[in-house]
Amino acid sequence: MVAKTKPKRIAKVKTLSKIVRKVKTTPARKVPKVLKPIVALGRYFKGAWFELKQVRWPNRQATWSLTGAVMLFTAFFVVLILLLDVFFKYIFELILR
């Protein structure tokens, strides 16, 4: 007799499309007009929390390397703008003389 093995369980992952389908199929409850802004705000924070749980945050090394890249680009553009400023000041002084 052949022993049957149980299939491995795959972790359920809620996708946004499944959630949207579920929201579309569930009937809307009657909410008093006064409470509609509060309910909408609650839905907003619920959706924002769902999106935050999906974020893949960088580790410390990636954070420092990205910070260094931002600092390098900032320094480059500061020098570029300063050189352009000096160049245009020189040109305008030549024209106005």
Query: Per-residue pLDDT for the chain (97 aa), expressed as one digit of tens each?
Result: 556 666 666 555 556 666 656 655 555 667 777 888 888 899 999 999 999 999 998 999 999 999 999 999 999 999 999 999 999 999 999 999 8
Rounded Cα distance between 60 and 66, Å, is 10
Rounded Cα distance between 35 and 48, Å, is 20
Q: Hey, where are the domains in the chain? A: 15-55, 58-97
Rounded Cα distance between 94 and 97, Å, is 6
Q: Among 5, 89, 83, 14, which residue's Cα sits nearest to residue 49?
A: 14
